[in-house]
Amino acid sequence: MNEFFLVNNRSIVVGDTTIHQLRMHDFDEWFTAAKAVKDYLKTHSDEIDTRFLKAHISHVLTLLSKSAHLEESALISIAEASESLLIQLVDAMIKVNDAFFSEKESKRKRRRKSQSSAGDQISWFDTFQFMIESGHRHEDIMQMSYGTFTGYLKAAQKNHAAKMRVQANLMRAAQHANAKAFTKLIDELKPGED
């Protein structure tokens, strides 16, 4: 799905069921099931079939319950009535939440996990604080879909890195400048009068 699909929190309709993006406010309720499905899909074809449903029916029901906003009993009724409809719903749920299911763990992230001690690891609070410092509000972050959250997080990280590069270049320029050049640099950085 594209960035505007994510940012606008769009959904897909399959039959009478609307499949929504998974949200951050209930991340703890869907993550384990989504991770199990994601791991299965890594080692098997991306095609959802009977074998997949048998292996992960509890995970599938949890994810569909969260993304379709339906009770598991309603989903069980759908599954009993039509396996092909259930497969279509699961396929749509994976497509709508492609930001999670297609996300790859970076080598740098894996290396950091193996090298850091438990006290050095970044927590969700650290990540939320970083986003809050970038201008987001806690309430807004919790209502974001996972795809929107990761998109804004990556944008905030890029913005932070760019600011750090500018600061490093300014420090270097200030360090090597004579007094007159330093004064000129500071004057250039002052906001202009309109």
DSSP letter for each residue of 75-125 = HHHHHHH-HHHHHHHHHHHHHHTHHHHT----HHHHHHHHHS-GGGSPPHH
Let me know whether 93 and 26 are in one domain.
Answer: yes
The pLDDT tens digits for 16-59 are 999 999 999 999 999 999 999 999 888 876 667 788 888 889 99
Name every residue whose Cβ is closer than 8 Å to that of residue 42 and which is 6 or more positions away in sequence: none
Let me know whether 118 and 52 are in one domain.
Answer: no
Selection from 115, 104, 97, 103 nearest residue 10 by Cα: 97
- What range does the domain containing 20 cover? 3-101
Let me know whether 81 and 148 are in one domain.
Answer: no
Let me know whether 127 and 95 are in one domain.
Answer: no
Let me know whether 8 and 75 are in one domain.
Answer: yes
- Is 73 inside a domain boundary? yes
Q: Tokens for 42?
A: 């890594």
Q: What is the structure's pLDDT at 109?
A: 58
Q: Residue 154's CB: how many other CB atoms inside 10 A?
A: 10
- Is 107 inside a domain boundary? no
Phi/psi for 5 (5° steps) reads -60, -45
Q: State the total domains in the chain.
A: 2
- Is 85 inside a domain boundary? yes
111: pLDDT confidence band, cut at 50, 70 and 90? low
Q: What is the structure's pLDDT at 42?
A: 87
Q: What is the structure's pLDDT at 115?
A: 55
Let me know whether 82 and 125 are in one domain.
Answer: no
- Is 106 inside a domain boundary? no
Contact 52, 43 (CB under 8 A): no
Higher pLDDT, 170 or 1: 170
The pLDDT tens digits for 145-156 are 999 999 999 999
Let me know whether 95 and 121 are in one domain.
Answer: no
Q: Please give the span between the terminal C-alpha atoms of the chain, in angstroms, as a whole number.
A: 43
Let me know whether 81 and 167 are in one domain.
Answer: no
Q: Tokens for 18?
A: 């609307």
